[in-house]
Homo-oligomer: A and B are copies of this chain.
Amino acid sequence: MKMLINAADTVVSDALEGLAQAHPGIVRVMRNPDYVVRTDAPLQQQVAIISGGGSGHEPMHIGYVGRGMLTAACPGAIFTSPTPDQILAATYASASRAGVLYIIKNYAGDRMNFEIAMETLLLEGVPVASVIVADDVANPMQDLRRGTGATIIVEKVAGAAAEMGASLEECARVARRAERQSRSIGVALSACTVPALARPSFHLGDNEIEIGIGIHGEAGRQRTTIAPVAQIVDQLCSALVDDLDLRAGDRTLALVNGLGATSPIELYIVFYEVARWCAARHIVLARSLVGNYMTSLDMAGCTITLMRLDDELLQLWDAPVCTPALRWGV
């Protein structure tokens, strides 16, 4: 499998150096342990918002570090949760007395590594709270839901609150609300290739797609055949809207996210169908985001996230943000 890399074991470090050089005004990249932090951190009296997870999902999370979003991010090895050392180092570089909020995707590894870091912080008396993102409705069982696209929204909302001077409790509250109001689901047209493995992690036939895939190269829940986007979107949106109990008149934010190898023109087509689908049900798309925001290496396909908006979440979403991957209002 061909990739634009130097070697499997330098993928993450080379990319981190690339990020550092591309956005010197926004982020500082620290190595061993690896983390990415706002150039202006630590910010006195501002809650630090920290996330992290395996690499291979760029721009998540490292591309969301900056004013109005994450204070720091901890990139693990490819698809591997970061270690407590990384998390603690990022925390010490970010946290003020206002405390730190961890945004954790619902994977066993992510949860355990952040938990260990939190145990240390509690011993040290650093105020810490966490929010677990579990938005992927592919699995009907709530505690088996993966954290996917909603993570970006939760990071944005929590970061906006922190930037406005909200307390740790307040940041955690809005983050949890954003999480509870969001659902995601994905579809893959092809698997991704983990560099160390050097071949796709599963195989899809020429006409096959997989519904309910995750973002770690894992297969999904249901294999079916390629169909016009309108049909695929119908299936995906139905799952989201049912689970979130969205109703006519509800305002929503829609994120159509490319998984890495899907072209922008396709993503706009998917978004069009999402917009039509919602319009037909009088669900209002008040805000939207279309592009590669959380990838799975070179997987082809997309995820759709819908979030129910209210005035508070809308205001936090609209607040200024200046990160490598998300930027507005500044």
Contacts and interface: CB of A to CB of B under 8 A. Distances in A.
Interface of A: 1-7, 11-12, 14-19, 21-22, 55-56, 58-59, 63, 189-190, 206-207, 209, 226, 228-230, 232, 260-273, 275, 285, 288, 290-292, 295, 297-298, 300-302, 327-330
A116 B209 CA distance: 45
Contacts of A327: 327-328
As for how many copies of this chain the complex holds, the number is 2
A5 B269 contact: yes
Contacts of A288: 21-22
Given A4-B302, A288-B21, A268 B58 contact: yes
Contacts of A189: 2-4
Given A209-B2, A269-B4, A327-B328, A264 B22 contact: no
A3 to B, nearest CB: 6
A269 B6 contact: yes
Contacts of A7: 228
A137 to B, nearest CB: 19
- The 5 A-B pairs at the shortest CB distance, nearest first, are namely A18-B272, A18-B268, A261-B261, A58-B264, A4-B266
Contacts of A260: 261, 263-264
Given A4-B232, A18-B268, A58-B268, 6 more contacts: A4-B302, A5-B228, A14-B269, A15-B266, A22-B288, A328-B330
Nearest to A58: B264
A290 B232 contact: no
A21 B285 CA distance: 9
Given A261-B298, A295-B263, A2 B290 contact: no
Nearest to A78: B265
9 contacts: A2-B190, A4-B302, A7-B228, A14-B229, A15-B265, A15-B268, A17-B272, A261-B300, A262-B298
A18 B275 contact: yes
B263 A18 contact: no
B269 A11 contact: yes
Contacts of A291: 292
A191 to B, nearest CB: 12
A40 to B, nearest CB: 18
A322 to B, nearest CB: 8
Best-surrounded residue of A12, A207, A230, A290 (most CB of chain B within 10 A):
A290
A230 B264 contact: no
